[in-house]
Amino acid sequence: MTLTAMGFDWVRQLVHRESAIVLQPGKEYLVEARLLPMAQQLGCAGVGELVDSVRLHPDPAKTRRIVEALTTNETSWFRDGDPFTALTGTVLPKLLAARGPSDRIKIWSAACSSGQEAYTIAMLLSDALPHAATRVQITATDISRQMVERTRAGRFSQLEVNRGLPAAMLVRHFTRNGNEWEIAPALRQMVTASECNLAAPLPPLGLFDVVYLRNVLIYFDLPTKQAILTRVRQLMRPDGWLFLGAAETTLGVDDNWERVVVGRGSAYRPRKGS
């Protein structure tokens, strides 16, 4: 079944609400083309069935995939650069000073998509703090098995490496393989990828020093946001740092976090005694 007028309108409103992007009437074909792979993967007969099922049985994970399929083909590398400059400029130097020389520093890229965020962190570390890179372990998780496998592979299309990856970093850290670009093995080894549903009890991933949880909370209702933030806090060290998306905050959601200014952006730290 193709998309009904009601289905298209629902998608239009969803995308506008979550991303401020306006899908003009007449873009039905675009919605069809972009959502067809997801519909097939989920065993729906068509895009119409997919949209109807999510419309009638709300599911944040599927909603997020619909919005992502319609808003970006490719994830940017230095999407909102501030959380990355804060990492090498402030956060890691502080953590390295606070930890013992043999302590591991653990960073979590939650909802990692195809791995751009995790590898951005790995590249920055190996460029800015090469002596510390060996002490850092990056965990990348996503709800989608396909995304986890893509992250593990560390291979990106031409269009993907075009999205906000500085050319100097591209030539330094990637090699061409056919019409794809492959991340350097040393950087791939810094990243461990696994499946994880943030909206359910979390697997034992260890204790993290830094968590990137960006552009995920916007898809959930208030009680689920609170539950996710609580579970994430339980997996963080008391002096850890949490980075959210530019349009996200813990304020008014969960009082157990303290908002701190880092560089030109902000981060959240577990409130003492919480």
Partner 1 sequence: MRALVIDDSRAMRRIVGTILTDFGYEVRQAGHGREALDVLESGSAEGWVPDLCCIDWNMPVMDGLQFVFAVRANPAYRQVTLMMVTTESETGQIVKALAAGAHEYLIKPFTPDALRDKLALLGLLPEGAPA
Partner 2 sequence: MTTAESTQPITALLDAETVLGIADQVWPSLVGDGEVFVPVPAPPPAETVSAWVDITGPWTGSVVLTCAPATAEALTASVLMTRPPVVVDDEDVEDALGELANVLGGNIKSVLPGESRLGLPKIGSAPSQGRLDDVCRVAGQWRGQFLTITVQGAADAPHAERNEVPL
- Within a 10 A sphere around the Cβ of 43, how many other Cβ atoms? 8
For partner 2, which is the closer residue by CB, 27 or 271? 27
Cβ at position 176, least distance to partner 1 in Å: 6
Helix pair angle (60-71, 28-41), 10° resolution: 130
Kindly state the tokens that stand for 46.
């068509």
Cβ at position 29, least distance to partner 2 in Å: 6
For partner 1, which is the closer residue by CB, 77 or 208? 77
Contact 110, 213 (CB under 8 A): yes
**Site map for partner 2, 91-120, x if CB under 8 A?**
------------------------------
Among 58, 159, 177, 252, binds partner 1 (CB under 8 A): 159
For partner 1, which is the closer residue by CB, 13 or 158? 158
Q: By CB under 8 A, tell whether 2 contacts partner 2.
A: no
Residues 136-195, interacting with partner 2 (CB under 8 A)? 157-159, 176, 178-179
SS percent in the chain: helix, strand, coil, step 5? 45, 20, 35
Q: By CB under 8 A, tell whether 24 contacts partner 2.
A: no
Residues 173-202, interacting with partner 1 (CB under 8 A)? 174-176
268 binds, among partner 1, partner 2, none (CB under 5 to 8 A by kind): none
Measured between alpha carbons, how far is 35 from 55 in angstroms, rounded to an integer? 14
Cβ at position 61, least distance to partner 2 in Å: 25
Kindly state the tokens that stand for 129.
């703090």
Only segment of 90-98, 107-115, 167-175, 250-258 that touches partner 1 (CB under 8 A): 167-175
Residues 72-91, interacting with partner 2 (CB under 8 A)? 73
Cα–Cα distances in Å, from 45 out to 14, 48, 112? 22, 8, 29
78 binds, among partner 1, partner 2, none (CB under 5 to 8 A by kind): partner 1
Contact 60, 220 (CB under 8 A): yes
For partner 1, which is the closer residue by CB, 46 or 265? 265
Residue 268 pairs in a beta bridge with 242, 259
Measured between alpha carbons, how far is 159 from 247 in angstroms, rounded to an integer? 26
**Burial tier of 216 (Cβ tally within 10 Å: 0-12, 13-18, 19+):** buried
Residues 10-69, interacting with partner 1 (CB under 8 A)? 20-21
Measured between alpha carbons, how far is 123 from 166 in angstroms, rounded to an integer? 11
Cα–Cα distances in Å, from 103 out to 95, 125, 134? 10, 16, 11
Among 27, 55, 163, 271, binds partner 1 (CB under 8 A): 163
Residue 48 pairs in a beta bridge with none
Pairing assessment for the beta strands 136-142 and 191-195 based on DSSP bridges: parallel
For partner 2, which is the closer residue by CB, 97 or 167? 167
Residues interacting with partner 2, by CB under 8 A?
27, 29-30, 33-34, 73, 157-159, 176, 178-179
Residues interacting with partner 1, by CB under 8 A?
20-21, 72-74, 76-78, 81, 158-159, 161-164, 166-168, 170-171, 174-176
